[in-house]
Structure 1
Amino acid sequence: MPWQVFWIIVQIITIVQGCLKCSNDAMAIKQDFRNRFLAKKLRKEPDQKKKLQRLLDNVVDGLSHTRINPKKYMAVIDELTLGRIAAHFKRFVNRITENDFQDGQLFNEVTWGLQKLVATFEEIMPQFTKLICSNECGKLIYSFINCYSCQTNTYTCIKGIYCGERRIQVDMDEDLILDCALRWHKVYHGVKQYRFFRVVNGKQQLMASGTDSFLVKKEVNHNDTGRYRCEMLDPNGEPASRLDFQVTVLTPVGKTTWFTRPHLTPMEGPFALGVSSREPPPQEDWTAWIVIAVTGGLLSLVVVAFVCYYRHKNKKDEKEQEEEEEKENEEKGENEEKGENEEEGEIEESESES
């Protein structure tokens, strides 16, 4: 049995504390919930208050005794997992304090919430333990928090620097992407640096270096066929993993090479390398003419629509004017005819009187 495992088991047996205690925020929330909220809410029921306070203490302090599985204890935790547990505990407390639970309902809600906390802890911890020495190759440095002393310790798991070779085929004039990231790199403690090399006759020619885990080489040609290498460096600048790439550039059927690509010299800097030297001759840009044509067409449509509307309106006005004139003429004729009839009637009357 490794001495680290023996030391962990001894601490679990002899000390009663929990990983959640290493979160200052979680402990502040716990104390406020225990000593203020429960004390005020259950001041008339001291027995139930003591029972809930004791249950809260036992669950939080007993998380360190929770087995990941029947053969594994838990005595360490990483910062990310501790933050997830603390966030769950905070949501549980907020749910209780924001709702006006009374008497037996309050007791049931607190009990259920603490059971859920333990279940969440048991669910998350196996995911965390998979990260321990999860590197298939290379040198993994990871940082853990001791659940009892709350001190942060750094551990190293070494399984050889070389992580194999990947074969990549890429069509000519396409972009070559070299991805140096391995699954265990995301849990690596400290700042990671990456270096990319072109290997020619056994010698490494530096292409780029930085914090990005991938390299993009623009529009490759047959001269880019060959071996490449990437290294991930630890905080001390020493290689923590090494990955080789055997790249083959293929000639697509039906494609034409316009002119040769100049040789790229090794460089440091951004991981997007090379400006295209294989682009076809420039073509005319018809964008401006298209815009002009579309704009002119729209203006013509507007003018034609306006003219048609204007003519239609004039014809309508003329027609209405003619109708009004005809109506006036008819009224005038009717008045004249009425006047003549009246005159004739007057003449007849005067003749009869005489």
Structure 2
Amino acid sequence: MSWLAIWLSAVIITGSQGCLKCSPEAIRILDEVKGPYLDSKLRGDPTLREKLQNLLQSNVEGLSQQPIGKSSYMGVIDEITLQELTGHFKRSMNRIMENQFDGGQLFNEITWSLQDLLVAFQKLLKAFQKVYCNNECGNMDYMFLNCFTCKTQIYSCSKNIYCGERKLKVEMDEDLILDCAMRWHRYNHGAKKYAFYRIVKGKEQEMTTTMDSFLVKKEANANDAGKYRCKLFSANGYLSSMLDFQVTVVSSVGKTTWFPRPQTTPEGPIALGISSRAPLPQPDWTVWIVIGSTGGLLFIIVAAFLCYYRHQNEKEEKEEESGEDEQEDEEESESSD
């Protein structure tokens, strides 16, 4: 049965309810505005009070009377969208009750709020409809609230169970990751279970079953090449989707493998060995560079000191020779006199 047929049947049997009528919080604040609030604000104007009461009731109920369309509205809503719609309605009504609106101004504010509520409803339901039946393959289950009966129901959107094949290349000694998740899986109702298989000679060999959508095989080698399969099962155990993987393991020539620090045991450190992919150890010249730099600096200091010492000696020798020459000159002067 199509969604349109479900909607038409609900309208004929139950009549219009309106998605917002399915929210107890929204009904509570609606009754508060229609009753105590309007009774106190419009005690002297019963005609306007009744008009606003009918306007509130008819607009809230009339939300479900929007045009049916797969991209806009299909007569159902999920809990999250209903909570957002309820929150919008509560904020609008609280704003009105917290302000001192009277008479015509109160009528205008309520009318504007109801028009804004309709715009919000259309916007939220349009976004919600994008979730509906957005699975490219497989069987997708939804838990929706019927806007006419206010009862939750499971709806299914069934397409081809087989979701194709993904080709993966993994380098030798790297981790092989089989990721089975598809975009629509997170919207699928109920607990999900993933089963992973290795396909050998056309037969499935189960590897593991888990709630996670991925499987990690550490340090892939040539034996890990081949075909794998992932199946998604719904909460009731039915197959929802199936995805294959064709894995190729390629060599990783020239790639360096870095090993962790060796562990220590009472007998001593554990030798990890050398990977065939790891390059030969390179000499570390850091110590020699430091020694050379330090020695060079010491050499410069010593050479500078020797140059200074030599310069001082030469200066003193010149001064001594100058003093002797002056003494000889004086002696010669005295003898001539």
Cα shift at 1:52: 1.9
Asked if the contact 1:257/1:278 (under 8 Å) is kept, the reply is no
Cα shift at 1:75: 2.2
Structure 1: how far apart are the matches of 2:139 and 2:43? 57
Structure 2: how far apart are the matches of 1:135 and 1:147? 23
Name the residue aligned to 1:6: 5
Structure 2: how far apart are the matches of 1:55 and 1:74? 24
Aligned positions of 1:265-304 closer than 5 A:
none
What one-letter code is carried by the residue in structure 2 that aligns with 1:177? I
Secondary structure at the residue paired with 1:137?
Answer: coil
Name the residue aligned to 1:65: 65
Name the residue aligned to 1:124: 124
What one-letter code is carried by the residue in structure 2 that aligns with 1:166? R
Q: Deviations over 1:126-156 (max 9, x none)?
A: 2323333332221222222221221222233
Structure 2: how far apart are the matches of 1:162 and 1:241? 6
Structure 2: how far apart are the matches of 1:223 and 1:70? 48
TM-score, length-scaled by structure 1: 0.65
Q: Deviations over 1:288-334 (max 9, x none)?
A: xxxxxxxxxxxxxxxxxxxxxxxxxxxxxxxxxxxxxxxxxxxxxxx
The verdict on how the C-alpha distance between 1:211 and 1:54 changes in structure 2, with shifts beyond 3 A counting, is: same
Q: Deviations over 1:174-201 (max 9, x none)?
A: 3333221222222212211111222233
Structure 2: how far apart are the matches of 1:245 and 1:177? 10
Q: Deviations over 1:245-296 (max 9, x none)?
A: 112223233136799xxxxxxxxxxxxxxxxx99859xxxxxxxxxxxxxxx
1:136 lines up with 2:132 in the alignment: no
The verdict on how the C-alpha distance between 1:237 and 1:279 changes in structure 2, with shifts beyond 3 A counting, is: farther
1:243 lines up with 2:261 in the alignment: no
Q: Deviations over 1:205-251 (max 9, x none)?
A: 33332222122333323332222211110123232111111122232
Structure 2: how far apart are the matches of 1:171 and 1:52? 71
Structure 2: how far apart are the matches of 1:235 and 1:19? 27
Name the residue aligned to 2:262: none
The verdict on how the C-alpha distance between 1:279 and 1:202 changes in structure 2, with shifts beyond 3 A counting, is: farther
TM-score, length-scaled by structure 2: 0.68
Aligned positions of 1:175-194 closer than 5 A:
175-194=175-194
Q: Deviations over 1:68-88 (max 9, x none)?
A: 559976422222322222222
Structure 2: how far apart are the matches of 1:9 and 1:279? 72
Name the residue aligned to 2:24: 24
Asked if the contact 1:68/1:126 (under 8 Å) is kept, the reply is no
The verdict on how the C-alpha distance between 1:258 and 1:132 changes in structure 2, with shifts beyond 3 A counting, is: closer
Asked if the contact 2:196/2:231 (under 8 Å) is kept, the reply is yes
The verdict on how the C-alpha distance between 1:218 and 1:37 changes in structure 2, with shifts beyond 3 A counting, is: farther
Structure 2: how far apart are the matches of 1:171 and 1:41? 75
Cα shift at 1:120: 1.2
Asked if the contact 1:258/1:278 (under 8 Å) is kept, the reply is no
Structure 2: how far apart are the matches of 1:58 and 1:106? 18
Asked if the contact 2:10/2:149 (under 8 Å) is kept, the reply is no
Name the residue aligned to 1:233: 233
Asked if the contact 1:140/1:188 (under 8 Å) is kept, the reply is yes
1:253 lines up with 2:253 in the alignment: yes
The verdict on how the C-alpha distance between 1:247 and 1:114 changes in structure 2, with shifts beyond 3 A counting, is: same
Name the residue aligned to 1:345: none
Structure 2: how far apart are the matches of 1:175 and 1:98? 61
The verdict on how the C-alpha distance between 1:249 and 1:98 changes in structure 2, with shifts beyond 3 A counting, is: farther
Asked if the contact 2:72/2:129 (under 8 Å) is kept, the reply is no
Structure 1: how far apart are the matches of 2:6 and 2:156? 17
Structure 2: how far apart are the matches of 1:129 and 1:31? 30
Structure 1 stretches lacking a partner, 5+ long: 260-276, 282-354
Secondary structure at the residue paired with 1:189?
Answer: coil
Secondary structure at the residue paired with 2:145?
Answer: strand
Asked if the contact 2:73/2:125 (under 8 Å) is kept, the reply is no
Asked if the contact 2:68/2:75 (under 8 Å) is kept, the reply is no
The verdict on how the C-alpha distance between 1:112 and 1:253 changes in structure 2, with shifts beyond 3 A counting, is: farther
Secondary structure at the residue paired with 1:184?
Answer: helix
Name the residue aligned to 2:161: 161
Structure 2 stretches lacking a partner, 5+ long: 260-271, 279-337
Name the residue aligned to 1:294: none
Asked if the contact 2:70/2:129 (under 8 Å) is kept, the reply is no
The verdict on how the C-alpha distance between 1:249 and 1:278 changes in structure 2, with shifts beyond 3 A counting, is: farther
What one-letter code is carried by the residue in structure 2 that aligns with 1:213? S
The verdict on how the C-alpha distance between 1:25 and 1:225 changes in structure 2, with shifts beyond 3 A counting, is: same
Name the residue aligned to 1:47: 47
Structure 2: how far apart are the matches of 1:233 and 1:279? 44
